[in-house]
């Protein structure tokens, strides 16, 4: 399941060009770069909030979500083009397109962390790019929904105690593992009745079940998945 939401976030970053590894949002890669990324990210987040008031972002199709995000990101970068140009001049950058792609990727990573309203949109775009997603049949979906709903509710409870985003990466990982295990154990009878006890004891089979549960969570509580994807990339 961890692999699924990490791949989903990677997929969105690949749409913006290049790899996610090696991107830093905690320190300037170039002088002034972190400040530029923060400014663009804030503008994007504000624009998405305005769009969400017109029509909930969570209701957009993956294609519409991708189109809107690209448009908002590009217009936000244009609003900070003077700052970006000055930064390029100071750091003697002669490839504006490549630098723009780097800024775009860093903006996405920062928004996953600091812009909750963007998370359903980002997850929707990322999931749409993931290849070979497992198929959830109409018969098994209600069984899996019981577990995914339980996980989301437990995460909401944990978040109410202490915002998950404010916890360390290790703490978030532990919470996710504890919540998932608890939810699966609570509904192990329903899972066993559908898949059979032999399948429940098969690690490979259960990894597939976990990916399907993650797919449902991407619709039910995408903010937690995007945060975990960010954690995996930021390691």
Note the pLDDT of residue 49: 95
Supply the pTM of this predicted model.
0.62
Our measurement of the distance from residue 144's CA atom to the centroid of its chain's CA atoms, rounded to an integer in Å, reads 21
Q: How confident is the model at residue 15 (pLDDT cuts 50, 70, 90)?
A: very low
pLDDT, tens digit, 9 for 90 and up, residues 56-113: 888 888 888 888 988 998 899 899 999 988 988 888 888 877 788 778 878 887 887 7
Question: CA–CA separation, 84 vs 89, rounded Å?
Answer: 9
| Dihedral pair phi/psi, residue 25, rounded to 5° | -115, 10
Q: Which residue has the tokens 């780097």?
A: 102
What distance in Å separates the CA atoms of residue 98 and residue 135, rounded to the nearest whole number?
37
Percent of the chain with pLDDT over 90: 30
- Residue 169 has a pLDDT of 84
Rounded Cα distance, 20 and 102, in Å: 9
Q: Which range among 25-29, 141-145, 194-198, 208-212 has the greatest average pLDDT?
A: 141-145
CB atoms within 10 A of CB 135: 7
Q: Is the model's pLDDT at 174 over the cut of 50?
A: yes
In tens, the pLDDT along 28-41 reads: 467 788 899 999 99
Looking up tokens 């961890």, which residue turns up? 2
Average pLDDT over residues 206-216: 84
pLDDT, tens digit, 9 for 90 and up, residues 137-170:
999 999 999 999 999 999 999 999 998 888 888 8
Q: For residue 94, give the H/E element and its range.
A: none
Q: What percent of the chain has pLDDT over 70?
A: 83
| 219 has a pLDDT exceeding 90 | no
Q: What is the mean pLDDT of the chain?
A: 81
CA distance 43 to 38: 9
């Amino acid at each position: 399941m961890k692999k699924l939401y990490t791949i989903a976030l990677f997929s969105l970053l690949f749409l913006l060009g290049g790899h996610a590894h090696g991107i830093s949002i905690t320190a300037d890669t170039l002088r002034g770069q972190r400040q530029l990324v923060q400014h663009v990210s804030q503008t994007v987040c504000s624009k998405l909030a305005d769009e969400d008031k017109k029509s909930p972002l969570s209701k957009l199709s993956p294609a519409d979500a991708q189109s809107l995000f690209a448009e908002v990101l590009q217009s936000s970068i244009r609003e900070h083009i003077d700052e970006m140009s000055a930064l390029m001049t100071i750091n003697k950058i002669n490839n504006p397109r490549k630098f723009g792609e780097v800024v775009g990727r860093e903006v996405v990573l920062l928004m996953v962390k600091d812009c909750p309203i963007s998370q359903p949109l980002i997850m929707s775009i990322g999931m749409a790019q993931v290849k070979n997603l497992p198929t959830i049949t109409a018969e098994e979906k209600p069984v899996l929904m019981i577990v995914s709903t339980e996980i989301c509710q437990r995460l909401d409870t944990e978040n109410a105690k202490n915002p998950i985003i404010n916890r360390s990466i290790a703490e978030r990982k532990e919470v996710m593992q504890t919540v998932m295990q608890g939810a699966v154990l609570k509904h192990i009878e329903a899972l066993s009745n559908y898949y059979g006890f032999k399948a429940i004891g098969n690690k490979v089979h259960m990894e597939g079940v976990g990916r399907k549960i993650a797919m449902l969570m991407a619709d039910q509580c995408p903010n937690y998945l995007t945060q975990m994807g960010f954690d995996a990339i930021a390691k």
